[in-house]
Amino acid sequence: MNYILITFITIFLFPVEVFNSYGVTIKDNPYETVTLTTYSPTSQECDSTPHITASGFKINLKNPKKHRIIAISRDLLKKLPFGTLVKVTGAGKLNGVYVVEDKMNKRYKNRIDLLIGEDDKQTTIKNVKIVKI
């Protein structure tokens, strides 16, 4: 009985923060279920300055994937502002950690867009989970 009481008191007096594999504290971060699409830094898919994201980040057009940039729909931008790291799961080989540096056209809702190279295959995946880290 004393062991249970001591454990209970210790947990509430000395809470332990949980860290993810990137050393970032995980708070109450519920995930979002979204549709994932991909985009390339071209004027056909972006605006007249495809090498500059909405946050002002300059993309290396020779290897845009190396930046691990994600564009998000505007309804998610309040929860995930520019510079936020997010973990993407349920997307197969596209799983991983990305940084929010771009936003999508206002017609899209509950959607993310991963930056890929011009020669990479475009894809759409539904029911992908993202969580802020």
Instruction: Count CB neighbours of 37 within 10 A.
Output: 18
* Residue 2 pLDDT grade (very low, low, confident, very high; cuts 50, 70, 90): low
Amino acid 29: pLDDT: 63
Please provide residue 87's backbone torsions phi and psi, each rounded to the nearest 5 degrees: -105, 130
Total number of domains constituting the chain = 1
CATH number at residue 119: 2.40.40.10
Q: What is the residue range of 115's domain?
A: 18-132
Has residue 9 been placed in a domain? no
Q: For the residues 43-53, what does the mean pLDDT come to?
A: 83
What is Dmax (Cα atoms) for the chain?
Answer: 69
Residue 70 lies in a domain: yes
Is 57 domain-assigned? yes
% pLDDT > 90, the chain:
59
Average pLDDT, the chain: 83
CB 98 within 8 A of CB 69: yes
pLDDT band at 131 (very low <50, low <70, confident <90, very high): very high
Q: Is residue 89 part of a domain?
A: yes
Residue 28 included in any domain: yes
Higher pLDDT, 43 or 64: 64
Q: What is the pTM of this model?
A: 0.75
Residue 13 placed within a domain: no
Q: How would residue 80 be classed by pLDDT, with cut points 50, 70 and 90?
A: very high
- pLDDT given at position 44: 81
CB 101 within 8 A of CB 70: yes
Residue 86 lies in a domain: yes
